[in-house]
Structure formats: C-alpha cells, structure tokens
Amino acid sequence: MSGDLLRRLFHLTRVHLGDRAPLPPIGHDPIGDGTSDGNPRARATVDKEDKVLAGYYANLEIPYGSDLHTVRAAWKRMMKKYHPDLHGEDAQKRQVAGELTAELTRAYQELVTVLERGGNR
C-alpha cells in the first residue's frame, strides 16, 4: 500500500504545483461503485474549466464537472484508502497519509462549496 500512497502524493503534488495534465479517464463510472447514474440534472453547471477546480477534481480522480454526489463518494472512497489511522505503525507513512488526506479534504471542501452555490466560483 505504501507504493500506492506515494503515487497519490506524487499526483497531488504535481497537480498542486501546476502540472495539470489530466489523469487517464476511469470510465463511465468514475468512482467504480455504481453511483454515477448519468443524470444531467445531477451535474453542476460549470461553464468554463477553472484550473484550480480542475486540480481539485484531479486530486479526487474524477472528471471535471462531476456532480456533488460523485465528489462525496470519491472523497469517502479515498479517505477509506489513505486515512492516516491505517498507517499507525509507521510514523513516516502516517505523516505522508496525513498530508495526502488534508489535500483530499481541501479539494472536497472547495468543490462542495462551489457545487452548492450552483457552480459559480
């Protein structure tokens, strides 16, 4: 799991530093849990791609413009996978996981704020 943790930290760092190359598409169901139903009314209206928002979506590994339900499900899925409590025996891994989950939570909170306002930043 530490290789996966380091891969995620690398991706977050890359996105945070401005290299906003999109992650490969995950498929029709971006979260892999069957929650993405394709309902166009469930999607937020984000007229123009905002680079900051694109970074937040990339951090959560979901497509730009995903709806609030998808954002929440992705954040929960990633927190279950990378939470610092899962790395209690190794202080260095716990610290990295803490930084990673802090960035994931920041992305989640920012996207929730934007999406609850109807997509306007």
pLDDT digits 0-9 by tens, 24-57: 443 334 444 444 444 444 444 444 568 999 999 9
* pLDDT, tens only, 8-24: 666 666 555 444 444 44
With a CB cutoff of 8 Å and minimum separation 6, the contacts of 16 are 55, 103
pTM over 0.85: no
CA distance linking residue 83 with residue 26, whole number of Å:
22
SS3 at position 96:
helix
Domain extents in the chain: 2-24+49-116
CATH architecture of 2-24+49-116: Orthogonal Bundle (1.10)
Q: What is the pLDDT of residues 75-101, one digit of tens each?
A: 999 999 999 998 878 889 899 999 999
